[in-house]
Chains A and B, each alone.
Chain A
């Protein structure tokens, strides 16, 4: 058997189809989930994809967080369902308080799209186990509101508990505190990051690197091993 991984489409989601492709390329079965539908269709894991859900109006992720699908998702994530939030998905996860902190506008006030160097700080989560701790990877980044912020106590706690999953290297692209690019919850099943691993899964496409594929093989291996 293979794992079934859901991808939620909110109005304004953009990278939902790309994420489905990445899941397929990793060998798992993508399942489309609709924001108005509370039913998660018994998937084994869920990805909240990038985009501008609800146009990022009000605040990125602030409206999607109240979608019917999120009601079920929040409960199940707390019970251990693996959830990955990419970019707008990360913003939704912080708005839903599944991950601490918040995302503000980039410090330079521009949208930025670039190939970003990262360091994998935590290779123990459900979504990062196919990396090696400390591994340096390149993943495309593209966002307007990517500046991760949290109060000092939260940041210290994240550092102390090893919950900073990814850090920007070479250049902090948006002013994120402590160069944080992605974090995990304490249990390691909920991970959020601003860069887009689903855009780095094929040698010919995008930047031509496949550094993002381990996100999807990590979860697949974990799920298959558990079954």
Chain B
């Protein structure tokens, strides 16, 4: 086919274009024709189709996501909010921190290693594009059943991909979670988060302004990998009947990305950059249209100047390619030479591909002919918006009525002991060391805490000890029972995890993983979860700074559990005051903070012992969460506690076993008055933590809790080499360690 120019398109209105194959719906295509006043060229169609895909346009989620802005709490910390590559938060002393979580779910199922690797690459480029040096990554992961044969294909590949890419970039991996559930069998979730640090004055935005400024593409050459990945992969459900989608998954080169980081930061340091955008989903289509759309002028691009890996690529393919490790910068003409010098120093290919114009059009040329002439806003920001129908699923009532309280409980101490061992040795509650030891958590020399700590913590100033903490959480089982509460529980847990280590929660990012938006039941779950999260953030005073939506996590009729993964970022004035999970010293007193109720809906116990999911998730009391956090932060700062662990899935016994094994010190526990041993050990009531208090601090600590009205119960003492629940059972640390640590090596090693 000869080149489809703008001129040609105007003259040949009746040419049939493959809009359906590119993922556009009929009415969407008609809208493109209406916007342009003619049929689109092939290149324009390529751009609209990828930019209007679910993945890039948020067309199904936009109407709900608005709540994060509308309900945003007043926060002085917020420097850059939703809509940029990543949100930016003020953490004091002139430092700003940017963080974000994104999904790379679909590619990671198709090709686990590369899918996961490029997920890390993409989120890290988002961080660089804000002007920040990336300082850490985290990876919330969900897989199918641990013993399913396909999990053996997916998990090792995903873990090796995350490690292979992140380790090579020199980014410590400090957090995240790993959860197994058969609902993720055909739709594993691979979310990737990253944190970056910069000085306030170094914040950069994705906009092209200043007529005559040059648009420079730098990084890897453009190839045929990942073409249409965004529109085809992330915006459709998997279907066995369709041909293999492997070619749509991108291939990563972490070495190239490491060079990209260093040369970008050097260019920032010399103030050479007016605007910057990374090339991720939708590649050049996205970068040029977003840069132009956010800026004041138009843009002219010569596609012939884009360095190619494959010279046979058509202009449409170049526009859609999702080749990794590419960035686009807008640079003043007088600074172009220096910019190119820095790129050359790092052996990074850099080419001027266009310039900012004074019009309001994005014009793209190929062999001298104009093949794109659009208003960039219509591509980047004015895509379709859907108010999808939503309906509370007809099974929701029956699910909630199936109360976990009715399940058979252990009849005697021997059964209780057996169930404790079963729980700490279940894949979800077991040690994740086999996975996390494949990630570098030492590099950069600033890691204060890393998994399995409650939150990852990074020092950002050597002199003052200023640090940031991050935790990610998201319990799909809770969210399935009640998406509104489930989302709030995810928020509450991440918030609590940050506070447990001694950091003050500041802001939220999220990665919302759901099934197909075309299913009203899924849309209801989605809407409820967002409403819950937005309400929760408002109440806790932690604004959502950005995030990501991943829909179509569904195979046939079976959607995943609604899985809103929430990341909470916190700040700590001096990392020397941090509190670890591990028990430190024999003789320290163990206190349980918060109220314990008979709450087993969605619990680890109901899953492991009864393979049951029903009833209601634990109640949420965000005021209580806030109080608990304040107490934990004060206690850390003032040295009143030397270990702390939040209580969540698996309940108190899980937390105590983890603290004991990490510290190599046992505990004697006494069941408090008013509670039975089973509820004491396994309840998953929210708003709780267990802390270890030196005897010298006991009075000061309990007085503080009493004065602030936080329930505090003495439950035992750090001691010996067993976890001994007095009057019930004792399990030696060796026995517990064997049960807890042998699981994953046994399955995947």
CA distance A15 to B437 in the complex (A): 18
Whether B462 contacts A52 by the Cβ 8 Å rule is no
Question: Which stretch from A73-81, A161-169, A198-206, A218-226 is at the chain B interface?
Answer: A198-206
**Which B residues touch A202, using CB under 8 A?**
445
Cβ contact of A18, chosen from B253, B345, B441, B443, cutoff 8 A: B443
Q: Does B258 count as interface, using CB distance less than 8 angstroms?
A: yes
On whether A14 and B446 interact (CB within 8 A), knowing A113-B441, A142-B440, the answer reads no
Whether B442 contacts A140 by the Cβ 8 Å rule is yes
Whether B255 contacts A206 by the Cβ 8 Å rule is no
Q: Which of B222-261 contact A (CB under 8 A)?
A: 253-256, 258-259
Whether A199 contacts B442 by the Cβ 8 Å rule is yes
Whether A11 contacts B259 by the Cβ 8 Å rule is yes
Q: Does A112 count as interface, using CB distance less than 8 angstroms?
A: yes
Cβ contact of B437, chosen from A52, A56, A114, cutoff 8 A: A114
B262 to chain A, nearest CB (A): 8
Q: Does A12 count as interface, using CB distance less than 8 angstroms?
A: yes
B191 to chain A, nearest CB (A): 21
Cβ contact of B168, chosen from A12, A112, A201, A204, cutoff 8 A: A12
Whether A206 contacts B445 by the Cβ 8 Å rule is yes
**Which A residues touch B459, using CB under 8 A?**
204-205
Q: Does B298 count as interface, using CB distance less than 8 angstroms?
A: no
Whether B170 contacts A206 by the Cβ 8 Å rule is no
Bin chain A's interface residue count: 20 to 34
Cβ contact of B167, chosen from A22, A54, A142, cutoff 8 A: A142
Residues of chain B at interface, number, CB under 8 A: 35
Q: Which of A3-28 contact B (CB under 8 A)?
A: 11-12, 14-15, 17-18, 21-22
Cβ contact of A14, chosen from B170, B345, B749, cutoff 8 A: B170
Q: Does B576 count as interface, using CB distance less than 8 angstroms?
A: yes
Q: Which of B314-349 contact A (CB under 8 A)?
A: 345-347
Q: Does A55 count as interface, using CB distance less than 8 angstroms?
A: yes
Q: Does B438 count as interface, using CB distance less than 8 angstroms?
A: yes
When each residue 192-216 of chain A gets 1 if its CB lies under 8 Å from chain B and 0 otherwise, what string results?
A: 0000101101101111000000000
Most buried by B among A36, A112, A142, A199: A142
Q: Does B447 count as interface, using CB distance less than 8 angstroms?
A: yes
Whether A52 contacts B255 by the Cβ 8 Å rule is yes
On whether A55 and B443 interact (CB within 8 A), knowing A11-B347, A113-B438, the answer reads no
A165 to chain B, nearest CB (A): 21
Chain A: CB-nearest residue to B447: A206
Chain B: CB-nearest residue to A22: B445
Whether B438 contacts A112 by the Cβ 8 Å rule is yes
CA distance A144 to B166 in the complex (A): 13
Cβ contact of B445, chosen from A21, A36, A52, A56, cutoff 8 A: A21
Q: Does B93 count as interface, using CB distance less than 8 angstroms?
A: no
A173 to chain B, nearest CB (A): 10
A177 to chain B, nearest CB (A): 22
**Which A residues touch B346, using CB under 8 A?**
11
Cβ contact of B576, chosen from A55, A111, A196, A204, cutoff 8 A: A204
Q: Which of B184-208 contact A (CB under 8 A)?
A: none
Q: Does A51 count as interface, using CB distance less than 8 angstroms?
A: yes
Cβ contact of A17, chosen from B167, B254, B444, B578, cutoff 8 A: B444
**Which A residues touch B345, using CB under 8 A?**
36
**Which A residues touch B253, using CB under 8 A?**
55
Please name 15 pairs of A and B residues whose Cβ atoms are closer than 8 Å in the assembled complex, sorted by A. A11-B347, A12-B168, A12-B255, A14-B170, A18-B445, A52-B254, A52-B255, A55-B255, A110-B160, A112-B437, A140-B442, A142-B443, A144-B167, A205-B448, A206-B445
| Residues of chain B at the chain A interface (Cβ within 8 Å) | 160, 163-164, 167-170, 253-256, 258-259, 345-347, 436-448, 459, 462, 575-576, 578, 749
Across the A-B interface, the 3 shortest Cβ-Cβ residue pairs: A55-B255, A14-B170, A18-B445
